[in-house]
Amino acid sequence: MRLTAGLPAGVTALLFESARRLRRLESDLVSRLEQAGFTEAILPVLDYFAPYEPLLPPAARAELYRFADRDGELLALRSDFTPLLARLVAPHLSALELPLRLFYRGDVVRCPERGSRRAAEIHQLGGEILAASGAAEAGEIEATVAFAQLLAAAVPGQARLVLGLAGALDDLLLNAVGAERAAALAGAVARRELAAARGTSAALAEIVERGAPASTAALGARGAAALERLQAMSERVAAAAPGVAVSIDLAEFADYSALATPAAARDLRPYYDGPVFRAYLPGRGRSIGGGGRYDRLFAALGAPVAAIGFSLRLDVLAGEPGA
């Protein structure tokens, strides 16, 4: 076999100044997390596949690189830090003092769809806050502020942070098309399909175009409360991280919904069930990080706790070409 310098699609090597740039950024952001009270968790890159079958929806499981070891045990490469951390920490939460602040760094490896140009290997830095249920709102604010401040430090004056809340549009979607079609419409709204929104609800069309309606009446009581909650969070985050442009966009997270049907489940996002957020850089359509609240994941593991996490793509933030 002839040796070449080629690598599989979606992975890259960092050499010389590229490596130094990424490590300098990582070191700076890690220092900021430690100063904020986060403790590092070093997690394995290899795990059993079986625990993730009930925890992740089909689309997320499809991204796992899986293989059998020499004894026939089915294993998977790490594709996401959060479910792995949850699986390892949940059995010990009763013995730990809350709130618990943890951070991690390293590569995740995801199997892209055939023909996709998405990266298969991503270098991440992320954090999680696990809090008692009564301190959930404080944990949401703290985690979102921490994320925004990392963004402000990494790319001053460039990042845009979009806030939303899982399920905020559920009542509006149900009223517009009923239970059978609500999940499909949620996906269309998240994809910014204005024609689909206009054909069902003027309020949904306004949300697709503007991110939120001028009047909250169409959102129903639950949606209006969600928007008010997000507005308060937006003000707190903007004040704490003035170098980041903060906005609210309910359409962005319309498919983070409780309206799943078996046919639509593959299109729904994994585990988020509270405030959610994504970050973008100018000129980039794909987010460079995000996070949110995911209590249901810990509940599925037998640990009732308020869980809020976030992650950033350091390969993109460090300015790697092609990332």
Q: So where are the chain's domains? A: 14-135+308-323, 160-280
Q: Which helix (H) or strand (E) holds 171?
A: helix 170-177
Please give the Cα distance from 323 to 273 (Å, whole number): 29
14-135+308-323 CATH choice from 3.30.930.10, 3.40.50.150, 2.40.40.20, 3.30.365.10: 3.30.930.10
- CA-nearest of 96, 317, 141, 100 to 238 is 141
Say what the pTM is.
0.92
Going from the C-alpha of 236 to that of each of 113, 211, 229, 242, the distances in angstroms are 38, 19, 11, 10
Contact call for residues 303 and 93 (beta carbons, < 8 A)? yes
Instruction: Count Cα atoms within 13 angstroms, Cβ side, for 81.
Output: 26
Please give the Cα distance from 164 to 6 (Å, whole number): 41
- pLDDT string in tens for the chain (323-residue length): 677 778 888 888 888 999 999 999 999 999 999 999 999 999 999 999 999 888 887 778 888 999 999 999 999 999 999 999 999 999 999 999 999 999 999 999 998 877 677 888 999 999 999 999 999 999 999 999 999 999 999 999 999 999 999 999 999 999 999 988 998 899 999 999 999 999 999 999 999 999 999 888 889 898 999 999 999 999 999 999 999 999 999 999 998 877 754 444 444 455 788 999 999 999 888 999 999 999 999 998 999 999 999 999 999 988 744 34
pLDDT value for 100: 97
Question: Using alpha carbons only, what angle is made at residue 243 by residues 239 and 244, rounded to the nearest 5 degrees?
Answer: 80
Contact call for residues 220 and 171 (beta carbons, < 8 A)? yes
